[in-house]
Amino acid sequence: MQKLFLFDLDGTVLKVQNTIMAAIVDKSLTISGLEHEIKSEKKFAGRTDKDIFYSFVDAENHERYHQLKEAYIQLMLNELKPEHVSLISGVQEACHWLVDSNLTWGLLTGNYERSGLQKVRCSGFPLPVSFGVFGDEYAHRNHLAASSLAKAEAHFGHAFLPEELVIIGDTPKDIECAKVNGFISVAVSTGGYSKEELFACKPDFLIESLSELPALF
């Protein structure tokens, strides 16, 4: 059985300084002519960028949404720098394990693809990203995760069973999207949620660092 390990980004693999993210989102909204008040709130954790940015505009105003999305992505590409992003402890060990064990892996993140990959580049992530499922298309993370089966088959040329997909993330939404799709869930307490909060969501596995991942599989 060939498993596919899909990693969340924010809070799982990397962390971006709150101040730079708030500034970029604030500037994106200002450019788009939207009134707003930016706060760093836990309720954004685990949500897709599409869901978050649609919350700032009228649900029917698709043109304004796309304007906001493009402004945000361009600012991320132009203003996010390596000094703003750090890898989370344990990522290096997990990456060595993936390579040494010749495992199949990718990303499953609510980030837009272009801005998410900018975070990866700035973080110094040690592996090239060849496969990812990103938050451009779906507002709900459960639907995003469901799409990963077909996308993985198209990319890897191999049909994966639901029980062969392993979702690794730091929020209850990561756990939920794995469970509703029949995937394996690995919760890691490196983000904004405690072990106790994640345990209450009943993940298949719960760890404190990605360095513990090899012992599970």
- Whether the CB-CB separation of 57 and 64 falls below 8 Å is answered with yes
pLDDT (tens digit per residue) in 172-210:
999 999 999 999 999 999 998 999 999 999 999 999 999
First-to-final CA distance of the chain? 12
Predicted model pTM:
0.94
pLDDT for 44 equals 65
DSSP 112-163: -HHHHHHHHHHHT-SS----EE-TTS-SSHHHHHHTHHHHHHHHHSSPPPGG
As a whole number, mean pLDDT of residues 25-46 equals 72
| Amino acid at site 111 | N
As a whole number, mean pLDDT of residues 27-39 equals 77
The CA–CA distances, whole Å, from 39 to 18, 57, 98, 110 equal 10, 17, 36, 19
The CA–CA distances, whole Å, from 144 to 94, 110, 174 equal 24, 8, 11
